[in-house]
Structure 1
Amino acid sequence: MNGLAWAAWAAWGVGFVVVTGIGLIALGSLRWRASTRAQMARLEATRVRAPAGRYDAREIDALPAPVQRYFRAALKDGQRFVAAATFELAGTINLSATAEQWKPFTSTQRAVTHRPGFLWNGRVAMLPALAAHVHDSYIAGVGALHAAVLGLVTVAEVQGGGEIARGELMRYFAEMAWYPTALLPSQGVRWAAVDDRSAKATLVDGPITLTLLFKFDEAGLIASVHADARGAGVGKDMVMLPWDCSVCSYQLRDGMMVPTVGEAAWLRPQGRKPYFVGNLTSLAYEFSP
Structure 2
Amino acid sequence: MALLLIIIGVVLLVVLVGKIMISLKFRNQVKILYANTINVSDKTYTAVQLNGLPEPVQRYFKYVLKDGMPYISLVRLKHKGVFKTNLKGRFINITGEQYFSVQKPQFVWKGTTLLFTARDSFIADQGNLKVSLFNIFTVVDGKGTEINEGEMQRWLAESVWFPTNLLPSENITWIAIDENSAKLSFRYKEISFDFIITFNRIGEIAAMETLRFMTDKKRERWLCRMANYKEINGVKIPVSAEAVWKLKAGDYSYAKFEIIEIQYNPNI
Separation (CA, whole Å) in 2 of partners of 1:51 and 1:44: 14
Contact 2:221–2:247 (8 Å) recurs in 1: yes
Separation (CA, whole Å) in 2 of partners of 1:278 and 1:51: 27
Q: CA deviation at 1:238?
A: 5.1
Q: CA deviation at 1:14?
A: 3.1
Separation (CA, whole Å) in 2 of partners of 1:123 and 1:81: 30
Partner of residue 90 from structure 2, selected from 94, 101, 107: 101
Q: Which runs of 4+ in 1 moved over 3 A?
A: none
Between 1:105-114 and 1:181-190, the stretch displaced more is 181-190
Q: CA deviation at 1:144?
A: 0.6
Q: CA deviation at 1:202?
A: 1.8
2:120 alignment partner in structure 1: 136
Separation (CA, whole Å) in 2 of partners of 1:283 and 1:37: 18
Is 1:231 the counterpart of 2:221? The answer is: no
Q: CA deviation at 1:100?
A: 2.0
Between 1:204-213 and 1:112-121, the stretch displaced more is 204-213
State the secondary structure of the residue aligned to 1:55.
coil
1:128 alignment partner in structure 2: none
Mapping of 1:41-190 within 5 angstroms? 41-50=31-40, 52-97=42-87, 99-125=88-114, 131-160=115-144, 162-186=145-169, 188-190=171-173
Partner of residue 248 from structure 2, selected from 245, 269, 281: 269
Q: CA deviation at 1:53?
A: 2.3
Question: Residue deviations 1:109-161, cap 9 Å, x none?
Answer: 00110201100111022xxxxx311100111221110000122101111112x
State the secondary structure of the residue aligned to 2:265.
strand
Between 1:256-265 and 1:213-222, the stretch displaced more is 213-222
Q: Call closer, same or farther: CA 1:95–1:269 in 2, change over 3 Å.
A: same
Percent identical pairs in the alignment equals: 27
Separation (CA, whole Å) in 2 of partners of 1:17 and 1:283: 41
Contact 1:181–1:187 (8 Å) recurs in 2: no
Q: Call closer, same or farther: CA 1:90–1:178 in 2, change over 3 Å.
A: same
Say which structure is richer in strand.
Answer: 1
Max radius of gyration: which structure? 1
1:249 alignment partner in structure 2: 228
Given residue 109 of structure 1, which amino acid in structure 2 is its aligned partner?
A: Q
Q: CA RMSD in A?
A: 1.5
1:278 alignment partner in structure 2: 257
Contact 1:43–1:117 (8 Å) recurs in 2: yes
Question: Residue deviations 1:151-197, cap 9 Å, x none?
Answer: 2101111112x221111000011111100011111474210001100
Given residue 110 of structure 2, which amino acid in structure 1 is its aligned partner?
A: N
Contact 2:41–2:70 (8 Å) recurs in 1: no
TM-score when normalising by structure 2: 0.95
Question: Residue deviations 1:243-281, cap 9 Å, x none?
Answer: 000010000011111001000010111111000000111
Q: CA deviation at 1:210?
A: 2.2
The count of corresponding residues between Structure 1 and Structure 2 is: 266
State the secondary structure of the residue aligned to 1:82.
coil
